[in-house]
Amino acid sequence: MGKEDMNYSLLVEMYERIEATTKRLEITDYLVDLFKKTPKKLIDKVVYMTQGKLHPDYMGIELGIAEKLAIKAISLSSGAGEVEVDKALKKIGDIGEAAAKFLGKKTQVTLFHEPLTVSRVYETMDRIALSTGEGAQEAKIKLLASLLSDAEPEEAKYIVRTVTGKLRLGVADMTILDALAVAFCGSKENRPPLERAYNLSSDLGGLAAAVAERGLEGVKKFKITVGKPIRPMLAERLASPQEILEKMGGRCAVEYKYDGERLQIHKEKDKATIFSRRLENITHHYPDACQLVVNHVQASAAIVECEAVAINPDTGEMMPFQELMHRRRKYGIQEAMKLYPVSLFLFDLLYADGEDLTLKPYPERRRVLESLVEEGESIKLAKALVVDNAEALEKFFEEAVAEGCEGILAKAVYPESVYRAGAREWLWIKYKRDYQALLTDTVDLVVVGAFHGRGRRAGTYGALLLAAYNEKEDVFPTVCKIGSGFTDEDLEKLPRMLKDYIIPHKHARVVTQMKADVWFTPSLVLEVLGAEITLSPVHPCGINRIRKGSGLAIRFPRFTGRYREDKSPEDATTEDEIVELYLKRLKKVEA
């Protein structure tokens, strides 16, 4: 064994001590001990292995081989039959202990063998993790058996636990950071810069190597790297505009909170890499998002954060978050891209052309983001506004909800409003008070207007404007725009059915702020199923009944396929009924 290597047994000793202790602080001490003994070249590997890994999570290299394969390897290396190993496993319940048992029997009869080194164990495990395709299973079994043949029983126990993904020592990231601070930077007091470096790189092993090599100075120089995910900043939550403003010092920015998937997109020239909120590499789910960022972010290297929202390709409207699940597939991505296109709403900029922006205050990050992004049909900045009073904040919230968002995110604008990677603090506060009532009954609504279709719906209507009926005033206040649930046949039929009702302007009995492309005399009634009813600043149905200045809207409405030709427009669901539905459902949700 060279000077640069270390016996695996030292690692095993540390594993055993950690398993035996009941005190968190002792875990740190054991780690410090081990890190000090570890050759610098190996420290990254030792850190990964302590967490049962070989690489940082974002690389997506899974170690967990099936127990079935581990049994075969134990059998091969110990000479015991597979059935026997399997039986013992069932009795003991831990594959690691089972391995130790069989290899213990065997080592009594073998003579001398080379002690296992950390490098050898690591490299062999890495080959196990990386072998894929035909013959991979055989290869994995052979590689594992070769390690086990040279292992002491206790070593075998931890090797098998590690490769099957069952090494669960429960050593938290923060404990490792503490141990690194003590071992290489003098004391735990020095953890904050280490923590920041970790939050910027999501790579504990890489950080350990830097700190072991160059101490605190090395850490301070730790830079953002395009291609290594930054741990995302998270939001706190409050329930009223007043509380939010108070926390923010009386003034803050508010942004629409889009209901999609958070993407951290790393652009480098004409290539982009996408990380999920949990830092998985999900580039292959979103080739379209990569292209959008490559084309529209005017920097040769940049890291942006955005929300990807599914868009109805026929109407251009935002769809519920669940629709994005269609993107989570290995094959058929091109098809999914067509059926479930996305729009990106950019909300932060963490890095641009060599400059780390995470330490700049929010207004500056936003300003640079605005200057670098060339907005397009499918890539926009998150809608934002700076407010200093509760009314303005509330109004913006209602607009956001009416446009299909979940609510808003309030963001601090004072000089310390940096991007706090990996932290949930009061710099971002979400506000998504439940002003939504679940809707399970269908409603019958009157068609009062229409919008021209795009894409597949060019030449027909993309969406219709629907209204309820107000008996007292004999008017039709609108409650939603609907684009979902129509078959190709419906789409073809609708212009014909509505042709005779077209008028050049909004009908006098229709109340709305919406601007339709085509207006109709209220006549055709459709049956509609919505997901929920929400407050709305644009639809006047139920105006001022729940909240001053707000009406109600049906969110995510779908045509059920039933034309209610049996109903006259005056037989449609009334405004009172919608208000009642809202109140009734809201109570249920709260209960």
The residues annotated with a catalytic role in the active site are: 257
Inter-CA distances, 238 with 63, 247, 392, Å: 40, 10, 17
Q: Give the residue closest to ligand AMP by C-beta.
A: 262
Which CB, 92 or 234, lies closer to ligand AMP? 234
Q: Taking CB under 6 A as the criterion, which residues in 144-173 touch ligand AMP?
A: none
CB 451 within 8 A of CB 517: yes
Beta strands in 468-557 (DSSP E): 476-482, 502-503, 510-511, 518-520, 525-529, 532-536, 551-555
- Choose which of 18, 409, 427, 465 interacts with ligand AMP (CB under 6 A): 409
CB of 255 to ligand AMP, least distance (A): 4
Contact 187, 197 (CB under 8 A): no
Q: Which of residues 262-281 bind ligand AMP (CB under 6 A)?
A: 262, 277
Contact 367, 349 (CB under 8 A): no
Please name which of 301, 458, 316 lies closest in space to residue 378, comparing C-alpha atoms: 316
SS3 state at 109:
coil
For ligand AMP, the closer CB: 430 or 433? 430
- Binding span for ligand AMP by CB under 6 A among 241-249, 255-263, 391-399, 526-534: 255-263
Of 25-33, 252-260, 562-570, 580-588, which part binds ligand AMP (CB under 6 A)?
Answer: 252-260
State yes or no: residue 430 binds ligand AMP (CB under 6 A). yes
For ligand AMP, the closer CB: 44 or 532: 532
Within 10 A of 90 (CB to CB), how many other CB atoms are there? 9
- 412 is a site residue for ligand AMP (CB under 6 A): no
The reply on whether position 556 binds ligand AMP by CB under 6 A is no
Q: State the minimum distance, in angstroms, from the CB of residue 434 to ligand AMP.
A: 13
Residue 382 or 553: which CB sits closer to ligand AMP?
A: 382
Q: Segment near ligand AMP (CB under 6 A), from 145-153, 251-259, 350-358, 359-367?
A: 251-259
Task: Report the residue number, 195 or 307, with the smaller CB distance to ligand AMP.
Answer: 307
- Confirm if 203 and 228 have CB atoms less than 8 A apart: yes
Segment interacting with ligand AMP (CB under 6 A) among 24-32, 123-131, 254-262, 451-459: 254-262
Structural contact between residues 364 and 422, judged by C-beta atoms closer than 8 angstroms? no
Identify residues 369-408 at the interface with ligand AMP (CB under 6 A).
382
Q: Degrees (nearest 5) of the Cα angle 158, 154, 126?
A: 35
Choose between 277 and 567: whose C-beta lies nearer to ligand AMP: 277
Kindly state whether residue 418 participates in binding ligand AMP, applying the rule CB under 6 A: no
Tokens linked to 36: 């000090």
Q: Figure out which of the listed residues 222, 347, 396, 431 binds ligand AMP, where binding follows CB under 6 A.
A: 347
Report the DSSP pairing between strands 301-310 and 461-467.
unpaired
Quickly tell me which residue has 């020239």 as its tokens.
269
DSSP state of 570: G
Rounded to the nearest whole angstrom, what is the least distance from the CB of residue 268 to ligand AMP in the complex?
A: 23
Q: Tokens standing for 515?
A: 């601007």
Tell me how far CA of residue 551 lies from CA of 320, 389, 511, 547, in angstroms: 21, 22, 11, 8
Rounded Cα distance between 267 and 297, Å, is 8
Least distance (Å) between residue 430 CB and ligand AMP: 5
If binding means CB under 6 A, how many residues of this protein chain bind ligand AMP? 13
Residues 289, 341: Cα–Cα separation, whole Å: 9
Q: What are phi and psi of 445, to 5 degrees?
A: -125, 155
User: How many whole angstroms separate alpha carbon 196 and alpha carbon 138?
Assistant: 43
- Counting Cα atoms < 13 Å in the Cβ hemisphere of 235 gives 19
Q: Please identify which residue in 44, 195, 255, 575 interacts with ligand AMP, judged by CB under 6 A.
A: 255
Task: Assess 235 for contact with ligand AMP (CB under 6 A).
Answer: yes
Does 258 bind ligand AMP (CB under 6 A)? Our answer is yes
Judge contact between 557 and 527, C-beta under 8 A.
no
Site string for ligand AMP, 306-325 (x = CB under 6 A): -x------------------
For the record, the structure tokens of 429 come out as 């506060």
Rg (alpha carbons) of the chain, rounded to whole number: 30
Nearer to ligand AMP, 27 or 342 (CB): 342
Look-up of token digits 């301070």? 220
Report the residue number, 262 or 558, with the smaller CB distance to ligand AMP: 262
Give the range of 19-27, 256-264, 316-324, 574-582 binding ligand AMP by CB under 6 A.
256-264
- Asked if 103 touches ligand AMP (CB under 6 A), the answer is no
User: Least distance from C-beta 292 to ligand AMP, angstroms?
Assistant: 17
| Segment interacting with ligand AMP, rule: CB under 6 A, options 123-131, 221-229, 249-257, 513-521 | 249-257
CB of 254 to ligand AMP, least distance (A): 9
Could you give phi then psi for residue 552, rounded to 5 degrees? -125, 150
Binding residues (CB under 6 A) for ligand AMP: these are 234-235, 255-258, 262, 277, 307, 347, 382, 409, 430
